């Protein structure tokens, strides 16, 4: 039987809380008191989980147990507005974190496995530097989704991030591997300096998508105002992998009405300034 722990937010904090301990690995084999004593950082002061949450250890949820992640590492269920809780799910390697509410910045950063499901909004640096696992955000996310922290060459190096709402600037900046899919719109410089991998934007993307990208694929399902002049037109075709990716995204609950598995894309190679080995695929027959 897998562990299923539920934390219900009792007292919203006034200051940001560093919640690095809120990962399934921290809870396995612990009783209610041990879990309540797990450390958090409120501003620069040490506090405990019990200071903010009601702790409950539940019988295994058969629904959660169906997922591979939950079977392997247990389920951590967080309830409440956690938008001031940073680093939730950071460095998690297995198990499943479900948040009924919003999360703060750096959620799922450095993840290597498992699943983080946010039924709300997410802050900046969602999944930054993650190398494995799966993040799903039902609402919108902030800036730098799957991106690299300042000073780093590579951002996300594996796994997938699926955002049903909108995202901010620099989605997938310096992405090295993996998938970032945004159902809604995104800000400036999506896939900036991307090394490889896939960034998909369902809605409108603002200026300079794919700027300085070296390799990888940027898929734009809604035409942007302009493609950067450092991208060169190739052709119109249906990429062979698109039906596979389309089915995969549908499995994650991300549907794009009007964009079929046989959709046709305009293909552009770029950024020429970086060797031109990347590509932008611009959906032609959406809606």
Partner 1 sequence: MRINGVEIVDTFAEAFPMHGARVRVTAVNDRWTRQAALAATGFATSVIGCGIEAGIEGASPETPDGRPGLDCLFFGMSRDALEKQLLKRIGQAIMTAPTSACFDGGLPECPDQEPETLPIGGKIRYFGDGHQSSKVIDGRRYWRIPVMEGEFVIDESFATAKGVGGGNFMILAQSDEAALAAAEAAVAAIGAVRGVILPFPGGIVRSGSQVGSRYAFLPASTNIAFCPTIRGRVPGTVLPRGVNSVLEIVIDGLTPEVVAEATRLGVLAACRDGVVQITAGNYGGKLGKHHFHLCRLLS
Residues at the contact surface with partner 1, assessed by CB under 8 A: 158, 177-179, 198, 215, 217, 237-241, 243-245, 247-248, 251, 261, 277, 279
Lookup result for tokens 């989605």: 171
Cβ proximity to partner 1, 103 vs 219, nearer residue: 219
Q: How near is the Cβ of 246 to partner 1 at its closest, in Å? A: 8
Judged by CB, which is closer to partner 1: 71, or 277? 277
How far apart are CB 248 and partner 1 at their closest, in Å?
Answer: 5
> Nearest approach, Cβ of 71 to partner 1 (angstroms)?
16
In angstroms, give the least distance from the CB of 131 to partner 1: 12
Q: 206 vs 215, which CB is nearer to partner 1?
A: 215
251 vs 257, beta carbon nearer partner 1: 251
Q: Are 154 and 196 in contact (CB under 8 A)?
A: no
Tell me the DSSP string of 17-57. EE-TT-SGGGTTT--HHHHHT-EEEETTEEEEGGGTEEEEE
CA distance 208 to 68: 38
C-beta of 266: minimal distance to partner 1 in Å?
13
Tell me how long the chain is.
287
Contact 79, 7 (CB under 8 A): yes
Helix (H, G, I), strand (E, B) or coil at 241: coil
DSSP string covering 243-287: HHHHHHHHHTT---TT--TT--EEEEEE-GGGTS-EEEEEESS--
27: which 2 tokens? 């809870």
Which C-beta is closer to partner 1: that of 168 or that of 278? 278
């Amino acid at each position: 039987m897998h562990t299923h722990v539920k934390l219900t937010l009792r007292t919203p904090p006034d200051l940001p809380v560093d919640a690095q301990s809120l990962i399934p690995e921290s809870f396995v084999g612990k009783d209610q008191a041990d879990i309540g004593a797990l450390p958090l950082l409120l501003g620069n002061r040490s506090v405990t989980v019990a200071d903010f949450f009601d702790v409950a250890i539940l019988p295994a949820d058969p629904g959660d147990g169906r997922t591979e992640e939950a079977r392997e590492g247990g389920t951590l269920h967080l309830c409440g507005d956690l938008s001031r809780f940073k680093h939730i799910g950071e460095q998690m390697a297995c198990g499943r974190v479900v948040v009924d509410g919003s999360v703060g910045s750096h959620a799922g950063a450095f993840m290597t496995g498992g699943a983080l499901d946010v039924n709300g909004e997410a802050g900046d640096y969602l999944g930054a530097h993650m190398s494995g696992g799966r993040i799903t955000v039902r609402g919108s996310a902030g800036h730098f989704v799957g991106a690299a922290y300042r000073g780093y060459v590579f951002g996300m190096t594996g796994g997938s991030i699926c955002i049903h709402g909108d995202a901010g600037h620099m989605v997938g900046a310096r992405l090295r591997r993996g998938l970032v899919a945004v159902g809604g719109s995104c800000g400036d410089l999506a896939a900036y300096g991307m090394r490889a991998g896939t960034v998909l934007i369902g809605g409108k993307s603002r200026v300079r998508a794919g700027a300085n990208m070296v390799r990888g694929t940027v898929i734009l399902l809604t035409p942007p105002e302009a493609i950067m002049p450092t991208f060169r037109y190739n052709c119109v075709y249906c990429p062979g992998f698109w039906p596979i990716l389309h089915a995969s995204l549908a499995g994650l609950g991300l549907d794009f009405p009007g964009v079929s598995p046989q959709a046709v894309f305009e293909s552009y190679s770029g950024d020429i300034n970086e060797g031109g080995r990347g590509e932008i695929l611009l959906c032609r027959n959406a809606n």
